[in-house]
Amino acid sequence: MAFTTLSSWALLVWEELHQRGLDADALFHQAGLDPARLKDPNARFPVEKLHRMWVAARELTHDPALGVAIGLRWNPTTFHALGYAWLASSTLAEAFHRLARYGRLISDQYQGELTLAGMEYRYRLTPRNVEAHPDEAAVAAYTIALVKMCRMLLGEGFSPLEITLPVAPGPGILPLEINLRAPLKFGDQLLELVLARADMEKPLRSANPELSRMNEQIAVKHLSQLDKDSVGLQVQNRIADALPSGRITEDDIAQSLHLSQRTLQRRLAEEGQSFGDILQNTRRELAQNYLRDSQLSINEIAYLLGFSEQANFTRACKRWFGQAPSEYRRQLAEAV
pLDDT score of 1 more than 50: no
The DSSP-derived string for 133-175 is ---HHHHHHHHHHHHHHHHHHH-TT---SEEEESS---TTHHH
pLDDT score of 271 more than 70: no
Q: Residue 229: which pLDDT band, with cuts at 50, 70 and 90?
A: low
145 neighbors 71 (Cβ within 8 angstroms): yes
Other beta carbons within 10 Å of 100: 18
Mean pLDDT confidence for 137-142: 94
At 21 the three-state DSSP class reads coil
5 neighbors 50 (Cβ within 8 angstroms): yes
Checking DSSP bridges between strand 110-117 and strand 191-196, what pairing results, if any? unpaired
86 neighbors 79 (Cβ within 8 angstroms): yes
Mean pLDDT confidence for 58-86: 94
Digit-coded pLDDT (tens) for 143-160 = 999 999 999 999 999 999
Domains delineated in the chain? 4-66 (no CATH), 76-200 (no CATH), 229-334 (1.10.10.60)
Mean pLDDT confidence for 303-331: 90
More confident residue, 234 or 92: 92
Average pLDDT, the chain: 89
Digit-coded pLDDT (tens) for 19-34 = 999 999 999 999 999 9
